[in-house]
A = this chain, B = another copy of it.
Amino acid sequence: MSEPRLVEVRRNVLKQNDVIARELRERFRQAGVFVVSLVSSPGSGKTTFLERTLTELQPRYRVAALVGDLATENDALRLARSKAPVKQITTGTVCHLEATMVQNALAGWDLEQMDFLFIENVGNLVCPSSYDLGENLRLVLMSVTEGEDKPLKYPTIFNSADVAVVTKNDLAAAVEFDWKAAQASIQAVRPGMRIFRVSAKTGEGMEEYRGFLTHQLAEKLHV
């Protein structure tokens, strides 16, 4: 196995990514847009959660979204129902977004006209963790149907995120979700991590999460 060479090459790719991510972060800062990325396993409800977030923020905030998938424009079509500007990034066989992909997708968009930009990463609990996209805040989502020990099994991605969101809470009873065990798993991997518990279907928990986001934006603008 040529592992050492593989690692070395990957390190260079990552370094290049960091350079572009830094440029992006500076652009976002200058434009005054607050950028939130979402990572999770496939099927944990990122798109439904994001669609509701966009719809709820829109009366008062200018929002937009980029959404990554290996294939299909399905998620962009779903998010477009919120009437927010949305672009799909299809990655082919690449299991994460990279800063260049974000940079390219932003071409033609005026960041000055946005309050929030959301970036939905490819559904994957491993690949996206080491790629900085220049975001201000990274959310890691896990649904109540996935099992309470996901953070222990995928510690790196939980460590790379700022906030955890437990989704599909409307199914909690049906799957006998153990909230205490889930909290303990998250805190074991990332002590002190803020956790939101939501259902994008019923709306439960969305107000608190929205309040958190708008507070973050306000704080950023005053720094």
Contact = CB atoms under 8 A, between A and B. Distances in A.
Interface of A: 1-3, 5-6, 9-10, 12-13, 16, 41-44, 69-72, 74, 93, 95, 100, 122-127, 142-143, 145-147, 149-150, 152-156, 168, 170-171, 174-175
14 contacts: A5-B9, A41-B123, A42-B146, A42-B150, A42-B153, A43-B142, A43-B146, A70-B156, A74-B153, A93-B126, A95-B127, A124-B125, A124-B126, A145-B171
A119 to B, nearest CB: 17
A10 B100 CA distance: 21
Contact of A168 (B145, B149, B170): B145
Contacts of A12: 2
Contact of A13 (B6, B13, B41, B154): B6
A149 B123 CA distance: 13
A3 B94 CA distance: 12
Nearest to A40: B42
A177 to B, nearest CB: 12
Given A6-B9, A127-B126, A72 B42 contact: no
A42 B154 contact: yes
Contacts of A126: 70, 93, 95, 122, 124, 127
A80 to B, nearest CB: 15
Given A6-B6, A71-B152, A72-B152, 4 more contacts: A2-B13, A41-B42, A42-B147, A93-B156
Contacts of A150: 42-43
A104 to B, nearest CB: 13
A74 B149 contact: yes
Contacts of A44: 43
B72 A149 contact: yes
A145 B3 CA distance: 37
